[in-house]
Structure 1
Amino acid sequence: MSIAKGDSLPSATFMELTENGPEKVASDEFFKSKRVVLFAVPGAFTPTCSINHLPTYLENRDAILSRGVDEIAVVAVNDPFVMGGWAKATGGEGKIRYLADPDGAFAKALGMELDLSGGGLGTRSKRYSMLVKDGVVEELNVEDNSGEATVSAAATILGQL
């Protein structure tokens, strides 16, 4: 069963590359007492994710934050080194958080896992965006086609804020 509006997010542990190396980020603490825009991509450095999806959030970062959002984060089933490299390569380092879901545990707990093994990518996350307030999903936008980034793009979240 997939996560839905009004549901609390499951407890999970993300990894994030910091200046001290990879560090654990507990989801319960990350979402506690704040409003967060979280969007998920099937994979860092993949074409749709890098060209069409992530840029919408970087370009609209200030507008999103000005509407009462405390933090913007992207999550992918990748390791923290890949996510850290992607942050640097995209110019997003320090602007949004790049969270790794190394074994896909968060994606699975949400019911958002996506089997892309036919394309050599293994199990990944569906492409989605959500607005989370104090760990509860306020808005959820899931793409029907993982190769598109329209429903889950920043424009949708901006319209929901």
Structure 2
Amino acid sequence: MISIGSSLPEVSFGRLVDGEMTNPHTNAIFGDKKVVVFAVPGAFTPTCSAAHLPGYVTIGDKIKAKGIDDIVCISVNDAFVLEAWKQTQNAEHITMLADGNATFTKNIGLDMDTGDFGGTRSLRYSMLVEDGVVTKLNIEDPGRFEVSDAQTMLDSL
């Protein structure tokens, strides 16, 4: 499982940019940057839509004011679903990365099996990544939302 001091695995993600599918790699997203990352079990799910993403939308400017280059949301969904969710949540300043087959999520050991509910999904977490290395990490227990929220991340910066 990933921990503070770990380097992120080199994988590609799905991302829509101006309506076109792109597949940026880990290094392009996190290399030479300070990035706040948060992951959700699924777009359009209750806690993710009511609290997790909205928190980062609401105080994203305060987070970026702390020297953060980007705020990234990762979910085991496809890029089209994440783009639609981004639009409905007014999350234009959040970079949405699709980990469609959970490659990244499995490589960092933060996957969970939800069975018939949705299959393989991500645990809820947040982390600060500096030049591809994890420097802060907040992992939620399954079904919880207590430490990966935007305010907790802001307070730790």
TM-score range, shorter chain: over 0.9
Is the contact made by 1:48 and 1:148 (CA closer than 8 Å) also made in structure 2? no
| TM-score computed with the length of structure 2 as normaliser | 0.97
For residues 37 and 5 of structure 2, the distance between their equivalents in structure 1, rounded to whole angstroms, comes to 15
What CA deviation, in whole Å up to 9, does each residue of 1:63-99 have, x standing for no partner?
A: 1000010000100000000001011011112x11011
Partner of 1:130: 127
Structure 1 runs not aligned, ≥5 long: none
Structure 2 runs not aligned, ≥5 long: none
| Equivalent residue in structure 2 for 1:151, among 129, 147, 151 | 147
Partner of 1:121: 118
Partner of 1:63: 62
Q: How does 1:6-21 map to 2 (within 5 A)?
A: 6-21=5-20
Match of 1:155, as an amino acid?
Answer: Q
For residues 78 and 18 of structure 2, the distance between their equivalents in structure 1, rounded to whole angstroms, comes to 16
Give the drift of 1:148. 2.7
Match of 1:89, as an amino acid?
Answer: T
What CA deviation, in whole Å up to 9, does each residue of 1:25-55 have, x standing for no partner?
A: 1111110100000000000000011101111
Moved over 2 A (4+): none
SS in 1 for 2:24: strand
Give the drift of 1:20. 4.0
For residues 63 and 31 of structure 1, the distance between their equivalents in structure 2, rounded to whole angstroms, comes to 20
Q: How does 1:16-55 map to 2 (within 5 A)?
A: 16-55=15-54
Aligned residues between the structures: 157
Match of 2:156, as an amino acid?
Answer: Q
Match of 1:22, as an amino acid?
Answer: M
Compare 28-37 and 148-157 and name the one that shifted more. Answer: 148-157
Match of 1:124, as an amino acid?
Answer: R
2:137 aligned with 1:140, yes or no?
yes
Is the contact made by 1:15 and 1:22 (CA closer than 8 Å) also made in structure 2? yes
Identity %: 46
For residues 122 and 154 of structure 2, the distance between their equivalents in structure 1, rounded to whole angstroms, comes to 22
- CA gap of 1:52–1:150, structure 2 versus 1, over 3 A, is same
